[in-house]
Structure 1
Amino acid sequence: MIIYNVTSNVDNTIQEKWMAWMMEDHIPKIMEIGKFYKIKIVKVLTDHHDEGTTTYSVQYFADSREKLNEYYNDHSPKLRAESAGLFGDKVLQFRTELEIIQEFKSV
């Protein structure tokens, strides 16, 4: 399994608008595409971000490299452009890919 992680440093002046867009528009669109079986939005709690911003990590779970690549090739450019058009430099992002090696759960 692959986690496509997008970390977003969101200016507090647009934080509510950005979160509403994520919940009501962006995430539903991505779920409809069918390349990810789960998406998590988490707030980064460390103090290592710029003052006046809030940092979030959005984790998109794909069950194969092929599905992630299909997302990159067929959908990502349009969705990134949409985000940039709406929020410009008020949201700074970086992306990472994570491979799940083993998952442990309490019984």
Structure 2
Amino acid sequence: MYIYNVTINIDDAVHEEWLTWMETHILDVLNTGKFISAKFTQVLVDEDMGGKTYSVQYTANSKEDLEDYYKNDAESLRIQSAKKFGDKMLAFRTELKLIKEFYPTNVSN
């Protein structure tokens, strides 16, 4: 599996509006059919540049699904973000390949 991670710093002036908008935006990304799930998290750090930072992790079954998203969907969805929030939002993207997941074993206390 692959994780498409988008880390976003959002200006305090539009923070609440952006949070509401993100619920729709994340569903728009999922509805492209390229991802099977998404996790929306807040990065717990005080930013020198101000604002608040979040991460959205979209899970794709394959590299091909991720490439298809880039080719057919990513640009139009990024344009929507830029039109709505412009320079009040700074985003960077990272691809991750899941190697293995680990879970706790039954531990007695």
TM-score by length of 1: 0.93
- Which residue of the partner structure matches residue 43 of structure 1? 42
- Which residue of the partner structure matches residue 85 of structure 1? 83
Q: Which runs of 5+ in 2 are unaligned?
A: none
Q: Offset at 1:26?
A: 0.7
- Distance in 1, matches of 2:103 and 2:35, equals 22
- RMSD of equivalent CA atoms: 1.0
- The structure 2 residue matched to 1:57, chosen from 55, 58, 82, is 55
Q: Which structure 2 residues correspond to residues 10-21 of structure 1 after superposition, within 5 A?
A: 10-21=10-21
Where do 4+ consecutive residues of structure 1 move more than 6 Å? none
- Which residue of the partner structure matches residue 75 of structure 1? 73
Q: Which amino acid aligns with 2:85?
A: F
- Distance in 1, matches of 2:78 and 2:68, equals 15
Aligned residue pair count: 105
- Distance in 1, matches of 2:64 and 2:103, equals 27
- 2:7 is aligned with 1:7: yes
Seq. identity, %? 50
Larger Rg: 2
- Distance in 1, matches of 2:86 and 2:12, equals 14
Q: Which runs of 5+ in 1 are unaligned?
A: none
Q: Offset at 1:32?
A: 1.4
Offset from partner CA, 1:29-87 (integer Å, 9 cap, x none)? 1121111001011000023x235300000101001000000000000000000000000
- 2:29 is aligned with 1:30: yes
